[in-house]
Amino acid sequence: MSPPVEYARSGEVSVAYQVVGEGLVDLVLVEGAFTNRHVMWELPSSRRFYERLASFSRVIVFDKRGMGLSDRVPAGTLEERMDDVRAVMDAVGSERAAVYGASEGGPLSLLFAAAHPERTVALILAGAEVKEETTEDWPWGEGTREHHEEYMRLIPERWNKAPASLASFMPSRGDDPELIEWYTRLKVQSASPASAAAFSDMAFGIDVRHVVPTIHTPTLILHAVDDQVCHVENARFLARTIPHARFVELSGGDHAMWGDQEDAALAEIREFLTGVREAPEPDRVLATVLFTDLVGSTERARELGDRRWTELLEAHHAAVRRELARFSGREIDTAGDGFLAAFDGPARAIRCGRAVIDALGGLGLQVRSGVHTGECEVVGDKLAGLAVHIGARVAAEAAPGDVLVSSTVRDLIAGSGIKLVDRGLHELKGVEGPRRLYAVA
């Protein structure tokens, strides 16, 4: 679940922020153009990146002024936005922090490190821009003035549409329906078309080449060599201009560090901030995971309207939690209309899954469930690892009203009296080799 949203006061502007983790190093994330503190946590890969950073640092994230959950005011100048960073640090009691500038957040982070070296213990630049406009003396921008004006002209009619640029932003997942839906929602909930246009116009005019030589803070630069959003020459310029900067050129083309080079990027960041490259071996435990997922929730929400759907969703959550308590299950996570729960044995998980389906049937809701048993990584009060991933994929293969289980579960419930029906071999996304699945009769 998303951490609580708090507000820092920067002059007359309220800036929304979140804090996660309790590491010895404070890490302020100055993210790219568009964010919404709630929506950023809804995408599993984005959420996992925050959580992995939080395993060795205290992560401080915020929505820039005019964006997301912060006050919808004009985007402001770099100086005003730098004040916002300082206000958030003051609000959380951070005297000195490492500042992480991603994409459009790079120029703001560079300026902050240059102007406030006493508060910047380190600087991390990830896919960071130097100058957006392509000019004769800067051929590595994102486009010419004519290209930018055409983009600005099209913002009003395209803002609530699936972005055509996603294949450039995240080529490893550009055709992923989940990512497309999330990114479209992120844009709409980050800014209106008018404020997005104003922000984009402001960002297009930024040029921090004159700031870069004044940086004397220890700096790590990460950039994908085939990044199609921000040319890698931006990073190479930073690397040869910032004294003693460490530059790591990542393979691939994903602009965001939570893309295909996440592991490599996190290893570099961890070593840079802590001196230790590898994470400590996580605690591991054998657990049975149960995933539940509402069927046709989007259509029902559209049919019922926001108020009635919210009421029905609250009844759904209450019903699932009653059954979890009844069968000694532990709620691990919930996202929208699905639950992840853990049990100490597969028979209880199966019976709970069946009970949830029956209980929600009384509300007129259809549910699918998946159960798998395996060794899980224990990360705080969460579970992670391949076993959790398999459980999610098993649930995705279930038909409405089904509790679908893996062959591992089948082998562990001998003598329970639970009868299973062979549903054949299935290719589970992200899992090597076909897996035989069984439905509870």
DSSP assignment string, 132-200 = -B-BTTBTTSSB-HHHHHHHHHHHHHHTTS--TTHHHH-GGGTT-HHHHHHHHHHHHHH--HHHHHHHH
Confidence of residue 282 (pLDDT cuts 50, 70, 90): low
DSSP-based three-state secondary structure for 312: helix
- State the Cα–Cα distance between residues 426 and 205, nearest whole angstrom: 52
Half-sphere exposure of 4 (CA within 13 A, CB side): 2
Say if CB 233 and CB 207 are below 8 A apart.
no
- For 18, phi and psi rounded to 5 degrees? -135, 155
What are the chain's domains?
Answer: 6-274 (3.40.50.1820), 283-440 (3.30.70.1230)
- Model confidence at 38: pLDDT above 70: yes
Q: Which DSSP category does 96 fall into?
A: S
Contact 360, 295 (CB under 8 A): no
Model confidence at 392: pLDDT above 80: yes
Name every residue whose Cβ is closer than 8 Å to that of residue 91 and which is 6 or more positions away in sequence.
6, 7, 8, 9, 17
pTM above 0.75, yes or no: no
pLDDT band at 163 (very low <50, low <70, confident <90, very high): confident
Q: For residues 219 and 245, what is the distance between their CA atoms, to the nearest angstrom?
A: 5
| CA–CA separation, 51 and 351 (whole Å) | 32
Helix (H, G, I), strand (E, B) or coil at 290: strand
pLDDT of residue 161: 80
Task: Indicate the SS3 state at residue 287.
Answer: strand
How does pLDDT run across 60-75, given as a tens digit for each residue? 999 999 999 999 999 8
Query: pLDDT value at position 281?
Result: 59
pLDDT band at 336 (very low <50, low <70, confident <90, very high): low
More confident residue, 252 or 431: 252
162, two tokens: 């699936």
Q: What is the mean pLDDT of residues 201-209?
A: 92
Average pLDDT of the chain, as a whole number: 92
Q: What is the pLDDT of residue 279?
A: 63
In this predicted model, what pLDDT tens digit does every residue of 88-135 receive, in sequence order?
Answer: 999 999 999 999 999 999 999 999 999 999 999 999 999 999 999 999
In the predicted model, is pLDDT for residue 1 greater than 80?
Answer: no
Task: Tell me the angle at which helices 193-204 and 145-158 cross, rounded to the nearest 10 degrees.
Answer: 170
Cα distances (Å, whole numbers) of residue 230 to 35, 75, 111, 276: 18, 21, 19, 29
Instruction: Write the DSSP assignment of 338-390 as a string of letters.
Output: EEEEEESSHHHHHHHHHHHHHHHHTTT--EEEEEEEEEEEEETTEEESHHHHH
Residues 253 and 409: their CA atoms lie apart, in Å, by: 39
Judged by average pLDDT, the poorest of 198-212, 270-284, 328-342 is 270-284
The mean pLDDT value for 397-422 works out to: 92
Q: Enter the tokens of residue 77.
A: 């100048």
pLDDT, position 124? 98
Q: What is the pLDDT of residue 345?
A: 87
Q: Higher confidence at residue 352 or residue 163?
A: 352
- Bridge partners of 182? none
How far is the C-alpha of 196 from the C-alpha of 155, rounded, in Å?
A: 8
Per residue in 224-254, pLDDT (tens digit) is 999 999 999 999 999 999 999 999 999 999 9
Q: To the nearest 10°, the Cα dihedral for 298, 299, 303, 309?
A: -30
